[in-house]
Amino acid sequence: MILSLYSSATGMEAQQLNLDTISNNIANVNTSGFKRSKVEFQDLLYQDKRQAGGQTGAGGTVPTGVSLGNGTRVVSTSKLFTQGQLTETGEEMDIAINGVGFLQVNNDDGTLLYTRDGSLKRSPTGEIVTNDGKVVTGLGTVPTDAVNVYVAANGQISYTLSDGTSQQGGQIQLARFPNAGGLRAIGGNLFQQTEASGQAEIGSPDQSGFGSIEQGYLEMSNVNVVQEMVNMIVAQRAYEINSKAIQTSDSMLGIINQLKRS
C-alpha cells in the first residue's frame, strides 16, 4: 500500500510538468516561428513478485507473472517542427520559411544559432538582424540608399536604389538537421545545435528539399489552442485521479491503524 503512495506521487509530479509544458505552448501561441512541445512519459522500474516463464513445483511453466510498477516519469519534452500558418504582414523585411529549414544567426560569442522567426530588421549600419539585434548570416549589408528590398523564393536578395537602379545582394542559406528535435531551445526564438541534433546541412531555399522563402509573410506558431485546452483538461484529470489514489491509500492505512483498537 505504501507503494501506491509513491507511485501516485510520481504521477502528480509528471502531470505538473505536463501542465507546465502546455502552459508554455499556450503562452507562445502568437510567437513567430514558435514550435510547440509535447511531453513523453515512461514507466518506472517494476518489482517482480513472480516472474513469467518460471518453473512451478510440478515442472510446469508459469504463463504470467506478478509485477508491481513504481509509477511514471517525464522522459522528454520534444519539439514538434510541423509547419505553422503563414500570415501576410506586407513588411518587406518579414520572411517566412515555407517548408524545411532554419535561418542561421550569429551569436554574440561567434557561434551559430538557428531560428524559424523571420521577423527581420535593418540595423543602422545596414546589416539584416533579428529583433534582438543578432546578425543573420550570408545576407551582407543593405546599401544606405536602398529604397526597396526584394527576397526571391530561392533566397536571393536584391535592392532598388534611390537612383532607380537595381543591385544584387546576399543569398539566404538555410540549415536543416538529421534530428531537429535534438536542437536545444535557448529562448528568443533561437535554437542551438547539439550532438543529438547532428551536424547542420546547409543549402539554398527552394532546392534539394529545403523550404522556399516567402517575403512579406511570417510563420506563426504551430500551437493549436483547442488541442492544448483539451490536453490541459486531460492533465488536470490525471493529476486529480493520482491525488485521489493517495487519499484512498491514506484511508486504507488509517483503517489498518485502527484494527488493533477494534
Could you write out the DSSP letters of every residue in 76-125? EEEE--PPPPEEE---TTBEEEESS-EEEEE-TTS-EEEE---B-EE-TT
Residues 250, 173 share a domain: no
User: Per the domain annotation, does 161 fall within a domain?
Assistant: yes
What domain count does the chain have? 2
Lowest mean pLDDT among 32-41, 44-53, 149-158: 44-53
pTM, 2 dp: 0.86
User: Per the domain annotation, does 61 fall within a domain?
Assistant: no
Partner residues linked to 61 by β-bridges: 55
Structure confidence at residue 197 (pLDDT): 93
Please check the confidence at residue 247 and state whether its pLDDT lies above 70.
yes
Mean local confidence (pLDDT), 125-152: 88
Residues 196, 155 share a domain: yes
Structure confidence at residue 57 (pLDDT): 65
Residues 243, 176 share a domain: no
Type and span of the H or E element at 37: strand 37-43
**What range defines the domain where residue 43 resides?**
2-49+66-80+223-255
Please check the confidence at residue 15 and state whether its pLDDT lies above 70.
yes
Residues 6, 98 share a domain: no
Residue 153, amino acid: A
Mean local confidence (pLDDT), 234-259: 90
Structure confidence at residue 1 (pLDDT): 59
If you ran DSSP here, which 8-state letter would residue 223 be given? -
Give every CB contact of residue 14 below 8 A, 6+ residues apart in sequence.
Answer: 39, 41, 72, 73, 74
User: Per the domain annotation, does 114 fall within a domain?
Assistant: yes
The CA distance from 140 to 211, in Å, is 21
Residue 156, amino acid: Q
